[in-house]
Protein backbone atom coordinates (compact mmCIF):
# COMPACT_ATOMS: atom_id res chain seq x y z
CA UNK A 1 0.00 0.00 0.00
CA UNK A 2 1.33 3.42 -1.02
CA UNK A 3 0.15 6.67 0.58
CA UNK A 4 1.21 9.97 -1.00
CA UNK A 5 0.61 12.83 1.42
CA UNK A 6 1.21 10.68 4.48
CA UNK A 7 1.44 13.59 6.93
CA UNK A 8 -2.23 14.49 6.50
CA UNK A 9 -4.76 13.78 9.23
CA UNK A 10 -6.71 11.68 6.74
CA UNK A 11 -3.66 9.51 6.10
CA UNK A 12 -2.95 9.13 9.81
CA UNK A 13 -6.56 8.09 10.48
CA UNK A 14 -6.50 5.65 7.57
CA UNK A 15 -3.31 4.01 8.84
CA UNK A 16 -4.89 3.69 12.28
CA UNK A 17 -8.03 2.08 10.84
CA UNK A 18 -6.17 -0.53 8.80
CA UNK A 19 -3.54 -1.38 11.41
CA UNK A 20 -5.44 -4.56 12.30
CA UNK A 21 -4.70 -5.93 8.82
CA UNK A 22 -0.95 -5.47 9.35
CA UNK A 23 -0.39 -3.92 5.91
CA UNK A 24 3.00 -3.24 4.37
CA UNK A 25 3.04 0.53 3.88
CA UNK A 26 5.13 2.93 1.84
CA UNK A 27 4.54 6.41 3.25
CA UNK A 28 5.39 9.46 1.17
CA UNK A 29 5.48 13.10 2.24
CA UNK A 30 7.26 16.33 1.41
CA UNK A 31 9.02 16.23 4.77
CA UNK A 32 9.81 13.55 7.31
CA UNK A 33 6.77 11.59 8.49
CA UNK A 34 5.35 12.82 11.77
CA UNK A 35 5.56 10.76 14.96
CA UNK A 36 1.87 9.85 14.82
CA UNK A 37 2.58 7.33 12.04
CA UNK A 38 3.67 3.92 13.45
CA UNK A 39 7.30 3.01 12.91
CA UNK A 40 8.43 0.05 10.85
CA UNK A 41 7.08 1.21 7.49
CA UNK A 42 9.04 2.46 4.52
CA UNK A 43 9.20 6.26 4.35
CA UNK A 44 10.06 8.35 1.30
CA UNK A 45 10.12 12.07 0.59
CA UNK A 46 8.67 13.78 -2.48
CA UNK A 47 8.53 17.40 -3.57
CA UNK A 48 6.06 17.82 -6.43
CA UNK A 49 7.63 21.14 -7.47
CA UNK A 50 11.03 19.58 -8.19
CA UNK A 51 11.60 17.33 -11.22
CA UNK A 52 14.60 15.67 -9.59
CA UNK A 53 12.54 14.74 -6.53
CA UNK A 54 9.76 13.23 -8.65
CA UNK A 55 12.15 11.07 -10.69
CA UNK A 56 14.09 10.03 -7.58
CA UNK A 57 10.83 8.91 -5.99
CA UNK A 58 9.68 6.99 -9.07
CA UNK A 59 13.07 5.28 -9.28
CA UNK A 60 12.84 4.29 -5.60
CA UNK A 61 9.57 2.42 -6.19
CA UNK A 62 10.08 1.22 -9.77
CA UNK A 63 10.10 -2.47 -8.78
CA UNK A 64 7.29 -2.16 -6.22
CA UNK A 65 3.72 -3.36 -6.83
CA UNK A 66 0.78 -2.10 -4.80
CA UNK A 67 -2.79 -3.26 -4.28
CA UNK A 68 -3.78 0.25 -3.19
CA UNK A 69 -2.41 3.72 -3.83
CA UNK A 70 -3.89 6.68 -1.96
CA UNK A 71 -3.10 10.16 -3.24
CA UNK A 72 -3.80 12.74 -0.52
CA UNK A 73 -1.19 15.34 -1.49
CA UNK A 74 -2.60 18.81 -2.13
CA UNK A 75 -2.44 22.39 -0.96
CA UNK A 76 -4.47 25.58 -1.20
CA UNK A 77 -2.88 28.23 -3.36
CA UNK A 78 -3.18 31.51 -1.38
CA UNK A 79 -2.84 33.24 -4.76
CA UNK A 80 -4.77 36.42 -5.35
CA UNK A 81 -5.99 36.70 -8.93
CA UNK A 82 -4.96 40.32 -9.38
CA UNK A 83 -1.69 40.37 -7.43
CA UNK A 84 -0.08 36.94 -7.89
CA UNK A 85 2.82 36.88 -10.34
CA UNK A 86 2.94 34.54 -13.31
CA UNK A 87 5.92 32.77 -11.68
CA UNK A 88 3.99 32.14 -8.44
CA UNK A 89 0.98 30.91 -10.38
CA UNK A 90 3.08 28.68 -12.64
CA UNK A 91 4.88 27.15 -9.65
CA UNK A 92 1.58 26.21 -8.01
CA UNK A 93 0.19 24.62 -11.18
CA UNK A 94 3.47 22.84 -11.84
CA UNK A 95 3.22 21.13 -8.45
CA UNK A 96 -0.48 20.42 -8.05
CA UNK A 97 -1.66 20.04 -11.65
CA UNK A 98 1.28 19.02 -13.85
CA UNK A 99 3.23 17.32 -11.05
CA UNK A 100 0.24 15.40 -9.67
CA UNK A 101 -1.01 14.30 -13.09
CA UNK A 102 2.47 13.31 -14.25
CA UNK A 103 2.98 11.22 -11.13
CA UNK A 104 -0.40 9.46 -11.33
CA UNK A 105 0.31 8.73 -14.99
CA UNK A 106 3.46 6.87 -13.97
CA UNK A 107 2.09 5.21 -10.84
CA UNK A 108 -0.21 2.99 -12.90
CA UNK A 109 2.90 0.90 -13.62
CA UNK A 110 3.09 0.13 -9.90
CA UNK A 111 -0.51 -1.08 -9.66
CA UNK A 112 -1.31 -4.77 -9.89
CA UNK A 113 -4.15 -5.86 -12.14
CA UNK A 114 -7.41 -5.04 -10.37
CA UNK A 115 -5.59 -2.77 -7.93
CA UNK A 116 -6.96 0.63 -6.89
CA UNK A 117 -5.75 4.24 -6.89
CA UNK A 118 -7.89 6.74 -4.97
CA UNK A 119 -7.31 10.47 -5.44
CA UNK A 120 -8.62 12.91 -2.83
CA UNK A 121 -10.18 15.82 -4.67
CA UNK A 122 -12.63 18.41 -3.38
CA UNK A 123 -16.13 19.70 -3.96
CA UNK A 124 -14.32 22.90 -4.90
CA UNK A 125 -13.72 21.24 -8.28
CA UNK A 126 -17.48 21.20 -8.86
CA UNK A 127 -18.71 24.38 -7.15
CA UNK A 128 -17.65 28.04 -6.92
CA UNK A 129 -14.64 28.23 -4.61
CA UNK A 130 -12.86 30.86 -2.53
CA UNK A 131 -9.60 29.55 -4.03
CA UNK A 132 -9.91 29.58 -7.82
CA UNK A 133 -6.56 27.93 -8.46
CA UNK A 134 -7.18 25.13 -5.93
CA UNK A 135 -10.49 24.29 -7.61
CA UNK A 136 -8.82 24.36 -11.03
CA UNK A 137 -6.00 21.91 -10.16
CA UNK A 138 -8.43 19.49 -8.52
CA UNK A 139 -10.71 19.61 -11.58
CA UNK A 140 -7.67 19.02 -13.80
CA UNK A 141 -6.74 15.81 -12.01
CA UNK A 142 -10.34 14.57 -11.97
CA UNK A 143 -10.40 14.94 -15.77
CA UNK A 144 -7.00 13.20 -16.03
CA UNK A 145 -8.23 10.27 -13.93
CA UNK A 146 -11.38 9.84 -16.04
CA UNK A 147 -9.13 9.41 -19.07
CA UNK A 148 -6.46 7.20 -17.51
CA UNK A 149 -9.18 4.86 -16.21
CA UNK A 150 -10.29 4.38 -19.81
CA UNK A 151 -6.72 3.83 -20.99
CA UNK A 152 -6.01 1.19 -18.30
CA UNK A 153 -9.40 -0.46 -17.62
CA UNK A 154 -7.98 -3.43 -15.70
CA UNK A 155 -6.94 -1.08 -12.89
CA UNK A 156 -9.26 1.04 -10.75
CA UNK A 157 -8.90 4.82 -10.62
CA UNK A 158 -11.35 6.53 -8.27
CA UNK A 159 -11.88 10.09 -7.04
CA UNK A 160 -13.36 11.18 -3.72
CA UNK A 161 -14.53 14.81 -3.57
CA UNK A 162 -15.56 15.84 -0.05
CA UNK A 163 -16.88 19.17 1.15
CA UNK A 164 -14.90 20.98 3.85
CA UNK A 165 -13.31 18.61 6.39
CA UNK A 166 -12.76 19.78 9.95
CA UNK A 167 -9.31 19.59 11.57
CA UNK A 168 -7.38 19.27 8.33
CA UNK A 169 -4.49 21.53 7.32
CA UNK A 170 -6.67 23.33 4.79
CA UNK A 171 -9.39 23.90 7.39
CA UNK A 172 -6.88 25.30 9.88
CA UNK A 173 -5.55 27.77 7.33
CA UNK A 174 -8.98 29.23 6.62
CA UNK A 175 -10.23 32.43 8.18
CA UNK A 176 -13.14 32.22 10.59
CA UNK A 177 -15.23 34.13 8.06
CA UNK A 178 -14.58 31.56 5.33
CA UNK A 179 -15.34 28.64 7.67
CA UNK A 180 -18.61 30.28 8.67
CA UNK A 181 -19.62 30.60 5.02
CA UNK A 182 -18.97 26.87 4.57
CA UNK A 183 -21.06 26.13 7.65
CA UNK A 184 -23.96 28.18 6.30
CA UNK A 185 -23.73 26.47 2.91
CA UNK A 186 -23.74 23.00 4.48
CA UNK A 187 -26.36 23.67 7.19
CA UNK A 188 -23.61 23.62 9.82
CA UNK A 189 -22.63 20.08 8.85
CA UNK A 190 -18.91 19.90 8.07
CA UNK A 191 -17.29 16.52 7.50
CA UNK A 192 -15.02 14.85 10.03
CA UNK A 193 -11.76 13.10 9.16
CA UNK A 194 -13.15 9.77 10.36
CA UNK A 195 -16.20 10.08 8.08
CA UNK A 196 -13.99 10.66 5.05
CA UNK A 197 -11.74 7.71 5.91
CA UNK A 198 -14.75 5.43 6.27
CA UNK A 199 -15.77 6.25 2.70
CA UNK A 200 -12.20 5.74 1.47
CA UNK A 201 -12.16 2.26 3.01
CA UNK A 202 -15.53 1.43 1.49
CA UNK A 203 -14.34 2.58 -1.96
CA UNK A 204 -11.22 0.45 -1.54
CA UNK A 205 -13.03 -2.77 -0.72
CA UNK A 206 -16.24 -2.47 -2.76
CA UNK A 207 -15.17 -3.26 -6.30
CA UNK A 208 -18.68 -3.21 -7.77
CA UNK A 209 -20.39 -0.01 -6.64
CA UNK A 210 -17.91 2.62 -7.84
CA UNK A 211 -17.47 3.37 -11.54
CA UNK A 212 -13.89 3.26 -12.75
CA UNK A 213 -12.76 6.84 -13.38
CA UNK A 214 -15.75 8.22 -11.52
CA UNK A 215 -15.98 10.84 -8.78
CA UNK A 216 -17.83 10.28 -5.52
CA UNK A 217 -18.99 13.49 -3.84
CA UNK A 218 -19.69 13.47 -0.11
CA UNK A 219 -20.81 16.11 2.37
CA UNK A 220 -23.65 18.59 2.21
CA UNK A 221 -24.12 20.30 -1.13
CA UNK A 222 -24.72 24.01 -1.55
Domains of the chain, by residue range, sit at 2-218
Q: What are the C-alpha distances in Å from 118 to residues 4, 81, 204?
A: 10, 30, 8
Confidence check: pLDDT of 2 > 60: yes
Does domain 2-218 fall under CATH 3.40.50.720? My reply is yes
Residue 66, helix vs strand vs coil: strand
Residues in CB range of 157: below 8 A, 6 or more apart? 104, 108, 116, 117, 119, 145, 148, 149, 212, 213
Q: What percent of the chain clears pLDDT 90, i.e. is strictly above it?
A: 60
Question: Which pLDDT value is given to residue 176?
Answer: 80
In this structure, how many other beta carbons lie within 10 angstroms of the beta carbon of residue 6? 27
In 8-167, alpha helices (H): 9-18, 51-60, 86-93, 100-107, 132-151
CB 193 within 8 A of CB 165: yes
Question: Which pLDDT value is given to residue 189?
Answer: 77
Q: What's the whole-number average pLDDT of the chain? A: 89
Q: Is the pTM of this model over 0.85?
A: yes
- For 160-189, the pLDDT digits (tens) are 999 888 877 777 777 787 777 777 777 677
Rounded-to-integer distance, Cα 68 and Cα 121, Å: 17
User: Considering Cα of 82, then 88, then 90, then 96, what sign does the dihedral take?
Assistant: negative
Q: What is the 3-state secondary structure (H, E, C) of 15-29?
A: HHHHHHHCCCCEEEE
- For 8-57, the pLDDT digits (tens) are 889 989 998 888 777 889 999 987 665 566 667 888 999 999 999 999 99
CB 54 within 8 A of CB 99: yes
Rounded-to-integer distance, Cα 191 and Cα 4, Å: 21
Pairing of strands 66-71, 2-4: parallel
Amino acid sequence: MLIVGANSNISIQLVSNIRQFNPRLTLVSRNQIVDRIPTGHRQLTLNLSEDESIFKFLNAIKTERFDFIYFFAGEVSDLEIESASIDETFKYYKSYAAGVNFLIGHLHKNLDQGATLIFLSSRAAHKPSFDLHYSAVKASTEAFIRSIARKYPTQRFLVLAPSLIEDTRIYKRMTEETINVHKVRTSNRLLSVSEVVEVIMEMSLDKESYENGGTTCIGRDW
